[in-house]
Structure 1
Amino acid sequence: MPLEIYNSLTRKKDQFTPLIPGIVTMYVCGPTVYGHAHLGHAKSYVSFDVVRRWLEHLGYRVKYVQNITDVGHLTDDADEGEDKIARQARLEQTDPMEVAQHYTRSYYQDMDRLGVRRPNIAPTATGHIPEQIALIANLVQKGHAYEVNGSVYFDVSSFPEYGRLSGRTDQEALQSGARAETRSEKRNPSDFALWKKAEAGHIMQWDSPWGKGYPGWHAECSAMAMKYLGKTIDIHGGGMENKFPHHECEIAQSEASTGKPFVRYWMHNNMVTVNGTKMGKSLKNFINLHDIFRETSPLTIRFFILQSHYRSPLDFSKEALEASGTGLAKLQESWKALCNATPGSGTIECESFIQRFTDAMNDDFNTPVAIATLFDFTRALNTSLHATEGLSEVALASCRSFMETFAGNVLGILDDPRKQGSGDTETVAAIMNLLIEIRTRARQQKDYALSDMIRDRLIASDIMLRDGKEGTTWARK
């Protein structure tokens, strides 16, 4: 079956055809860098990483742009409140740009550990102020925006299709705008800010035709997406919470400026819940990636995320995470056995598994079904490997190719057991044996805190301990 993508704009699965044959232009809303990345970031960017990987597997050249928001995102996610980065800088008693740079580095470190490939272009909002000013000036000139007291607002009434992505009615948009905006300088409560006047003492401000100020949150994505990908792009992704108002505003300002469709396929990933409750700082159930990596392998986190569809909620619990770790370990053990197997004479049919995996991914990137196919494959593989005749050299090569291509290159959940790292193997083994001995003595002395600490630290370093009747063994995850 051809690739079909659920398009949030049409509210159905549409067959994917890029605007330019062989090339896919893809823009995904990046993080606002005022804190460390959390599990919600991981779900979004792991999901779109796999979208990119699958498109490349299909033979497309993917031009992937993901922005860094380092100015203009206000605390109420609309037009009021304090700039999130400026607020964090005040709390940390430092400069906003230092905050942005620090958390940008932290974000990429976390994404690297999760195996998320970096975008082709990672533009920042502060690095594209001229482009945003040019976009806003164009909208003012065309009558779609107006200036009031040094701020510029988009006139929603000038764009009749506002609301078609989110499905909000005019009345709902008006009510939403009225709740967010208490001042009277807007013509309509649903109008949104393109440029904000900088109040006295505001650190992040730039010169503009309307005076000193800074861009609204929505302007940056339109300006940067069109600069690097063109007036019409193939795929625009982001979290479901960005559908309104952020993405709705992007459509309005972009299409009002160019007169052309802005995005052909809108993709939105669902949220993360914790034991069935929406994750959030105010609920004190916020899961920071820095913290969870201390106890759980990043590869396990990636696998856990991909076991749910990108459009489905991801419910986090320790039990679910442990189950994912167990499942991933089984896949890795089968892969290790496959890599170490010696040729025999048996055969195995890979084509049916290839077709099942391909059909799953072409069905709106259905990673849960794709992973289920991997488990079915490894069950058949293990049976063949343990059979008397084993597998022939040709069959082993086919199986290795299947795993490397789909579990490795596409899903990014495969470690190569043939790559043991740069450390000396005998030295590593000696250190591990010492740690196992210390842990065994700790358990015998009922020092479970030390025992658990050794185990957890090793897990965080992608090393798994297995306790059995004959003692404890270790293996790289």
Structure 2
Amino acid sequence: MEQKLIIYNTLTRQKELFKPLHAPNVGMYVCGPTVYGDPHLGHARPAITFDILFRYLRHLGYKVRYVRNITDVGHLEHDADEGDDKIEKKARLEQLEPMEIAQYYTNRYHKAMELLGVLPPSIEPHATGHIIEQEKLVKEILNNGYAYESNGSVYFDVAKYDKEHHYGILSGRNLTDIVNQSRELAGTGEKRNQADFALWKKAQPEHIMRWPSPWSDGFPGWHCECTAMGRKYLGNHFDIHGGGMDLVFPHHECEIAQAVASQGDQMVHYWMHNNMITINGQKMGKSLGNFITLEQFFTGQHESLTQAYSPMTIRFFILSAHYRGTVDFSNDALLAAQKGYERLMNGLADLDRVPVDKACDADTEKFVKALRQRCYDAMNDDLQTPLVISYLFEACHLINNLLDHKARICADCLQELASTMRLFTVELLGLQSEKGANNAAREEAYGKVVDMVLDLRAKAKASKDWATSDRIRNELADAGFEVKDTKDGVTWKLQK
């Protein structure tokens, strides 16, 4: 059955049938990290959210060009005009080149994403590698009359744009409210309006990262990079632009204005945004000082953590909530995610031990035949990953019943059950079996239990109770343990 994906479009504020502009090709741009610190849980959520979308679009047969940028230069916070260059600041403190800082944290981000099972994008452009494209964008906006130069800097004329278009179409704001809510900023005197934002900033003498331009030696405004790079790699019109909900205003709002002001119409068809991760109801982020790095989660080295949590547990934790809903961090929530992840992995592993009958019982056959489309329906409904997980848990419950001989399944239905579970668990949700501390502890526990059982078997053999000895060996084999009697004693191993 052909699957039709419905997604929520932030621009229209409603769910829409996904129709690519140039099917089967799909262009997708997602705002990537600003690389001046270790990646944290807030970085993981958009990466995993759009990794799911990337995986599912490809599964549906689309050829996806997925672009995810790296911000490695200047003005790195929401106040793109006056914000500090965090990379440059860190470079001064550590007496390193700014690009050393950027590369170091880019590498750490890549490593964390790999551990989380996030597939690499098709293209990963860096802001510093596209200064020419950003200058071109600024020139186009100037030539079309929607920007002005002031003391070597160039600002977007929001008031003029708003008269002819609508500034606030994505966030639902209006210019009057934006101006009234704007705080007074140093350098506002260069602007005609408080709401105007920088397209190009003249660098101060102490500013390390700077490039020549027709207006001054300086650097592009933060909002320019995604518009310029998205257009370069995906064209003037592409399908999906994604990122965190905190980017709706001002970043993505400014991107829309820049695109319309430079080319006359909107660049993006569907806008998608994941919601935030919170701690005690407050957004997790560097600026608030309440973030926990991914490395701290993986090692357990943080005062808010009671233990270490594996990368796949973190991935499961994020997928257990819908991408547009908030996720509130707590140790209890992570412990529940750990148990849920292990339940799925155990269910997958137990598929190899399920006994096959000549025929299914009616309930089993009905469940198995409906499972795949139920999971598809959940994915097609704006990527309802929590619902998919709940269906996979039902499958795990069935597997336990099959192992306990409370249900019967035929070979064809078992193959369909296994195929469906592996498709949605591994290929689409990206949940892989992990080797590490948790698995090592589990195997150690297995070892103690098996050694105890084999000791009972040895006593049975010593008593010449061959029936009990053989039964213990056979039942261990059914449970996945290979037992061998050798001249040097008994050996065993857990079959993979």
Question: TM tier, shorter chain?
Answer: 0.7 to 0.9
Percent identity reads: 50
For 1:223 and 1:74, locate their aligned partners in 2 and report how far apart those are by CA, in whole Å.
Answer: 17
Task: Spell out the pairing of 1:69-84 with structure 2 (5 A cutoff).
Answer: 69-75=71-77, 77-84=79-86
In the TM superposition, what are the counterparts of 1:335-346 in structure 2 within 5 Å? 335-341=348-354, 343-346=356-359
Q: Which residue of 1 aligns with 2:437?
A: 458
Q: Does 1:317 align with 2:335?
A: no
Indicate the SS of the match to 2:120: coil
Range moving further from structure 2, 313-322 or 182-191: 182-191
Per-residue deviation, 1:466: 7.7
Change beyond 3 A, Cα 1:135–1:476: farther
**Is residue 2:222 matched to residue 1:226?**
no
Q: Choose which of 357, 362, 365 in structure 1 pairs with 2:383.
A: 365
Aligned residues: 437
Counterpart in 1 of 2:64? 62
In the TM superposition, what is the alpha-carbon distance from 1:214 to its structure 2 partner? 0.6
Q: Which residue of 2 is the match for residue 123 of structure 1?
A: 125
CA offsets 1:383-434 (integer angstroms, 9 cap, x no match): 2343278543322321221112111110011329xxx9xxxxxxxxxxxxxx
Could you tell me which runs of 5 or more consecutive residues in structure 1 were left unpaired when the two chains were aligned. 421-456
**Equivalent position of 1:445 in the other structure:** none
Q: Which secondary structure state, in structure 1, belongs to the residue aligned with residue 216 of structure 2?
A: coil
Larger displacement relative to structure 2 (329-338 or 283-292):
283-292
What's the CA shift for 1:306? 0.1
| Aligned counterparts of 1:314 and 1:363: Cα–Cα separation in 2 | 19
| Pair 150,115 (structure 1): closer, same or farther in 2 beyond 3 Å | same
Residue matched to 1:279: 284
Shift of 1:464: 3.8
How many Å apart are 1:362 and its aligned residue?
0.8
1:149 alignment partner in structure 2:
151
In structure 2, the gaps of 5 or more residues are: 300-307, 452-492
Q: Is the 8 A contact 2:5 2:381 kept in 1?
A: yes
CA shift for structure 1 position 267: 0.6
Q: For 1:196 and 1:383, how far apart are their aligned partners in 2?
A: 66
Q: Is the 8 A contact 1:297 1:462 kept in 2?
A: no
Q: Deviations over 1:119-160 (max 9, x none)?
A: 000000000011001111111111111111111111112322
Which of 152, 157, 160 is the aligned partner of 1:158? 160
Counterparts of 2:448 and 2:76 in 1: how far apart (Å)? 59
Offset at 1:278?
Answer: 2.6
Q: Is residue 346–residue 389 contact of structure 1 (8 Å, CA) maintained in 2?
A: no
Root-mean-square deviation (CA, aligned residues, Å) is 2.5
Query: 1 CA distance for matches of 2:330 and 2:281?
Result: 9
SS at match of 1:33: coil
Find the aligned partners of 1:190 and 1:24 in 2 and give their Cα distance: 34
Distance in 1, matches of 2:450 and 2:150, equals: 71
**Does the 8 Å contact 2:90/2:101 carry over to 1?**
yes
**1:255 aligned onto 2:260:** yes
For residues 407 and 273 of structure 2, what CA distance do their matches in structure 1 show? 48
Structure 1 pair 381/389, CA: closer, same or farther in 2 (3 Å)?
Answer: closer
Moved more, 48-57 or 83-92: 83-92
Q: Say if 2:265 is the partner of 1:266.
A: no
**AA paired with 1:339?**
D
Please give the secondary structure, in 2, of the residue aligned with 1:184. Answer: helix
Measured in 1, the distance between the counterparts of 2:264 and 2:17 equals 24
The separation in 2 between residues aligned to 1:174 and 1:140, in whole angstroms, is: 22
Q: Return the match for 1:303 from 307, 313, 316.
A: 316
C-alpha distance in 1 between matches for 2:325 and 2:494: 33
Change (3 A) 1:137 1:469: closer
Note if contact 2:158-2:195 (Cα within 8 Å) is conserved in structure 1.
yes
Instruction: Say whether the 8 Å CA contact 1:153–1:193 is kept in structure 2.
Output: yes
Length-normalised TM-score, structure 2: 0.83
Hey, what does 1:398 align to over in structure 2? 416
Contact 2:32–2:70 (Cα < 8 Å) also in 1: yes
Kindly indicate whether the alpha-carbon contact (under 8 Å) linking 2:149 and 2:155 is maintained by their aligned counterparts in 1. Answer: yes
TM-superposed CA distance for 1:207, in Å, is: 0.8
